[in-house]
Amino acid sequence: MRKKDFDRLKRELALLEEKRKVSKLSRDEYLRYFREKKEAQKTLIGQKKSLEDNINSLKDETEMILRQIERKNVYIDKIERDLFNYNISTIYRIDQTIDYNNRSFWDLKGRLILPVHSVNIIFDFGKSTNPESKTVTYNNGIDVSISKGSEVKCIADGKVEVITYLPYFGNIIIINHEGNYRSIYAIIKDISVRLNQQVYAGDIIAKTSENNNGQCFHFEIWKDNSPLDPKQWMRRGANIN
């Protein structure tokens, strides 16, 4: 209590001393004094606002990092489950040999090559539910885990219809195939094709990149306005012992 009284008296004494100084000032000195005080107050208000903005920015960044950590933990759990269930005596062989024999695109179901050299799907086609947040998402394609800088191949002959950029998906290439089929390649970099260019099955059109989910690649197949499950169109590799 005595300390609080002492602090209060110190503040009152400082205030009285300030008033005493002001009472002795001339008119010009008085105006200059208040201008200086006003400028000092504006500076303090600006500093306070800057600090508040920095705090809010740090809060947003922290929330974003926590969401990323949650997603990473989900992937880690999936990989650990996959490793647990993996049969070491079986090797999945990826075959990217082009042997379409001039078939039309709609006749290539189950024969198309994989656009990247990976079969490790981290987000599958269709609806999925996050076991922790209970949020439901729908994937129009598949997301594959693969090292950044890996080759991305065109799955069939066609023409480059779109090259664009979208948040989360990054750079995107859309190739139009005959019969109004389209293949979509996303989360890519080092694009090596141009708009309206004719491309052929097996052509390297870009390299894989990364997003908030890490190093991965996103791929879709559409017929008119309907997404198709890419797994049903890809050639199944041979299981060898």
Residue 43 has pLDDT above 60, yes or no: yes
Overall average pLDDT of the 192-214 stretch: 93
Across the chain, which distance is largest between two alpha carbons, in Å? 102
Under 8 Å between Cβ of 205 and 173? yes
User: Environment class of residue 146 by beta-carbon count within 10 Å: exposed (0-12), middle (13-18) or buried (19+)?
Assistant: buried
What average pLDDT is seen over the chain? 83
Q: How far apart are CA 14 and CA 202, in angstroms?
A: 82
CB 222 within 8 A of CB 181: yes
The predicted structure's pLDDT at residue 86: 53
Q: Which of 2-16, 29-43, 61-75 has the lowest mean pLDDT?
A: 29-43
CB 141 within 8 A of CB 84: no
- pLDDT at position 105 is 93
The one-letter amino acid at 36: E
User: How far is it, in rounded angstroms, from Cα 141 to Cα 126?
Assistant: 7
Nearest to 237 by CA among 149, 124, 112, 145: 112
Between 238 and 206, whose confidence is greater? 206
How buried is 110 (Cβ within 10 angstroms: 0-12 exposed, 13-18 middle, 19+ buried)? exposed
- The structural domains of the chain, ordered by start, are 2-62 (no CATH), 98-240 (2.70.70.10)
Q: pTM value? A: 0.62
pLDDT digits 0-9 by tens, 91-101 = 446 778 888 98
Sign of CA dihedral 224, 221, 184, 204: negative
> Using one digit for the tens of pLDDT, what is the confidence trace for 126-136?
887 666 666 77
In this predicted structure, the answer to whether residue 231 has a pLDDT above a threshold of 80 is yes
The 10s digit of each residue's pLDDT in 164-185 is 999 889 999 999 999 999 999 9
Give pLDDT, residue 30: 65
CA distances from 209 to 59, 69, 143, 170, 215 (A): 28, 20, 12, 8, 6
Looking at residue 39, its pLDDT comes to 80
Per-residue pLDDT at 28: 61
**Residues 150-165, mean pLDDT to the nearest whole number:** 96
pLDDT of residue 96: 81
Residue 175 has a pLDDT of: 97
CA quadruple 216, 222, 226, 228: dihedral, nearest 10: -60
pLDDT score of 93: 64
Instruction: Judge whether residue 14 has pLDDT over 80.
Output: no
